[in-house]
Structure 1
Amino acid sequence: MVNRMIFNQTGFFGRGAIQEIPAAAKSRGFTKAMVVTDPVLADPKNGTAKKVTDILDEAGIGYEVFTNVKANPPVECIQDGVEKFKASGADFLIGLGGGSPQDTCKGIGIVVANPEFGDVLSLEGTADTKNPAIPTFGVPTTAGTASETTINYVITDTANKRKFVAVDPHDIPVVAFVDPDLTDGMPRGLKVATGLDALTHAIEGYITPGAWALSDALCLKSIQMIAANLAKSADGDKEAGEEMAFASYINGMAYSNVGLGLVHGMAHPLGGRL
């Protein structure tokens, strides 16, 4: 049996990791970003998106901000993002946020590079895309989905009230920036919810039939880290929050490559009707 593992080309980890964005962009010849994030993070009162755009400003890298992001992104949001990207003159994407902004970003990047999938619905499952997505930097603000290091993304087919998963090695961000400074500000309830999501991913990744030695090692380590740090992180312990951010990424590398099990298989049909 042959096992395949697909990871980011590069990852930066630790407080202040987002400071590496300009160098990573310039080394690849990128000149303008489209930052895909949600309205809450883009709100000046929140300030999260501003932390990233200030860094781009200081480095002289142009950008536009796209905020038409909704939970479990609908087809229409991705199609809107595709048109906005094509009009922007940007040459790379920054997915900033939790799973929904990251998934929206992946969908945009894939469709721009593979316009024959412009209906978005045809991306369901393992679509036969020919081209890598527009280069994407994944910047998580939650410690749960690990979308910054997965080859999966979830889309909502609003017309038929269902969610579906797209699995495509072409969509993985080329660089991930796991900066706990961006996850510290999550409300307690969100820390708990996203932490339990990460735990679910790790358990599913461990028990799924596709698991093997390397994925087991990653999932088991993630479970250990979550068990030791989730409660403390929820109560505001910053060191524990840092460990949670890393634990999410570690198990994301595993479950992205071995598939998800029963819990997510049941949740997607139900979530599509909410």
Structure 2
Amino acid sequence: MLDTSCPPDRSWSWPTAIRFGAGRLSDLPAALRELGASNPLFVTDEGLLPLPPAQAALAVLKDAAMAHGVFAEVQPNPTGVSVEQGVVAFRAGGHDAVIAFGGGSALDAAKAVALMVHQSRPIWDFEDIGDNWTRVDTSRTVPVIAIPTTAGTGSELGRSSIITDSAAHRKLIIFHPIMMPQIAILDPELTVGLPPALTASTGMDALCHALETWITPNFHPMADGLALQALRMIKDALPRAFADGTDLAARADMLIASGMACVALQKGLGGVHALSHSLGAVYDLPHGLLNAILMPHVTALNMPAAEARLAELARLLDLPGQGAQAVIDWLETLRDTLDIPASLRPLGVDEARLDEVVALALRDPCAVANPAPFDAELAGTMLRRALG
């Protein structure tokens, strides 16, 4: 936790240049000028556009007399169609940069729009499989400034976007290093108005990134360090941000932790994400909420393969109880504290499409990093347990 109730302005690089602190939204015009941009496209979602955070950002641009356009056709699970529409809007407005503003969906869509402006191939050719990323034409790029209004995906520091292929009913990870934003503005004041339920689900998404990173058997000691520090911060800050949305220090810690967890996940994720991507594609459900519900169930079934790492985490986080089971107990207690359902059923998920979800999950690139071999039997068992 930061040692101040009102974090001062701070800046560092990750390598994305980060402007952190309450009120740093005012840095937006200067950040655009730093990138040589004079006519950005402001990309957000329709629900956020009329709300105070987005209106405050647009007012900053207006006060700076900076030309800009607005694209707000982003869905909660952004689709390839919306990315195409964003590219059309970018070209039609003669824009020279993208401002990615909002939660993970808006940031992912905006980064994908920036990527696709100068591509001749369809976006699906850049799915994060093998060396597909080398197909990207990098001769011309569009700079991105990312401004998160939730502390969940950490997409403002990420090199990929999750985009839904509506025709194939699949969520695909689109990846290239140039998708990493040039500048991220982390202003905790923009997250103060986030409702408790969204604070909970997005915060658990960040926790899930860090936890799955920590227990995957892949080797990446630097990612482990980021994941552990994110878990420490989330353990303290998330319940506080949920209980008191105006707790600026807790909001600030969550923004930092979600970003760190996103960087860490390059080590690999696992079954929670493989299943949540697939459930999101089939049922069009919120990604963070799915992760929050799935995480205790999937982690419990992964425990035999990840017992040593979970036991180590329980010790490092000073959790009550002993061994790996202490982590499961913590996840379940936190879930209940945050008023998150214990089962997928309240979301409308049932056994009817279980086989379809499992088939998609087995194709998800996150599946290969699961601690236990992620086959149809294990995936089905995980889903059935999460159904209750």
> TM (normalized to structure 1)?
0.92
Whole-Å separation in 1 of the counterparts to 2:34 and 2:239? 39
Partner of 2:236: 228
Q: 3-state DSSP class of the match of 1:177?
A: strand
Whole-Å separation in 2 of the counterparts to 1:111 and 1:7? 24
Q: What is the aligned counterpart of 2:84 among 67, 75, 79?
A: 79
Residue 66 (structure 1) aligned with residue 76 (structure 2):
no
Whole-Å separation in 1 of the counterparts to 2:24 and 2:269? 29
Partner of 2:133: 127
Which letter does structure 1 place at the counterpart of 2:30? Answer: A
Residue 185 (structure 1) aligned with residue 193 (structure 2):
yes
- Alpha-carbon spacing, 1:52–1:112, altered in 2? closer, same or farther (3 Å): same
Whole-Å separation in 2 of the counterparts to 1:225 and 1:219? 10
Q: 3-state DSSP class of the match of 1:239?
A: helix
Partner of 1:158: 166
Partner of 2:371: none
Contact 2:123 2:174 in 1 (8 A): no
| Offset of residue 177 of structure 1 | 0.6
Whole-Å separation in 2 of the counterparts to 1:124 and 1:98? 22
Q: What is the aligned counterpart of 1:202 among 210, 217, 223?
A: 210
Which letter does structure 2 place at the counterpart of 1:234? Answer: F
Q: Which structure ranks higher in relative contact order (CA pairs < 8 Å, sequence separation ≥ 6)?
A: 1
* Equivalent residues in 2 for 1:1-274, closer than 5 Å: 7-43=14-50, 46-114=51-119, 116-117=120-121, 119-125=122-128, 126-128=132-134, 129-131=136-138, 133-236=141-244, 237-255=247-265, 257-274=266-283
Which letter does structure 1 place at the counterpart of 2:126? Answer: L
| Offset of residue 104 of structure 1 | 0.7
Whole-Å separation in 2 of the counterparts to 1:211 and 1:226? 23
| Offset of residue 88 of structure 1 | 0.7
Whole-Å separation in 1 of the counterparts to 2:85 and 2:236? 41
Partner of 1:3: none
| Offset of residue 211 of structure 1 | 4.1
Query: For each residue in 1:76-120, what CA deviation from the matched residue of structure 2 results, as whole angstroms up to 9, or x when unmatched?
Result: 100000011001111000000111111111111111022x12x32
- Alpha-carbon spacing, 1:31–1:166, altered in 2? closer, same or farther (3 Å): same
Contact 1:8 1:176 in 2 (8 A): no
Whole-Å separation in 2 of the counterparts to 1:244 and 1:224? 11
Contact 2:124 2:174 in 1 (8 A): no
Which letter does structure 2 place at the counterpart of 1:156? Answer: T
Q: 3-state DSSP class of the match of 1:108?
A: helix
The percentage of aligned residue pairs carrying the same residue is 34
| Offset of residue 60 of structure 1 | 1.9
Whole-Å separation in 2 of the counterparts to 1:52 and 1:73? 22
Partner of 2:369: none
Contact 1:8 1:173 in 2 (8 A): no
Whole-Å separation in 1 of the counterparts to 2:177 and 2:34? 23
Q: 3-state DSSP class of the match of 1:267?
A: helix
> Could you say what the CA RMSD is over the residues aligned between the two structures, in angstroms?
1.5
Which letter does structure 2 place at the counterpart of 1:240? Answer: A
Q: 3-state DSSP class of the match of 2:76?
A: coil
Whole-Å separation in 2 of the counterparts to 1:208 and 1:13? 30
- Alpha-carbon spacing, 1:211–1:153, altered in 2? closer, same or farther (3 Å): farther
Whole-Å separation in 2 of the counterparts to 1:59 and 1:8? 27
> TM (normalized to structure 2)?
0.66
Give the unaligned 5+ runs of structure 2.
1-12, 284-388
Q: 3-state DSSP class of the match of 2:269?
A: coil
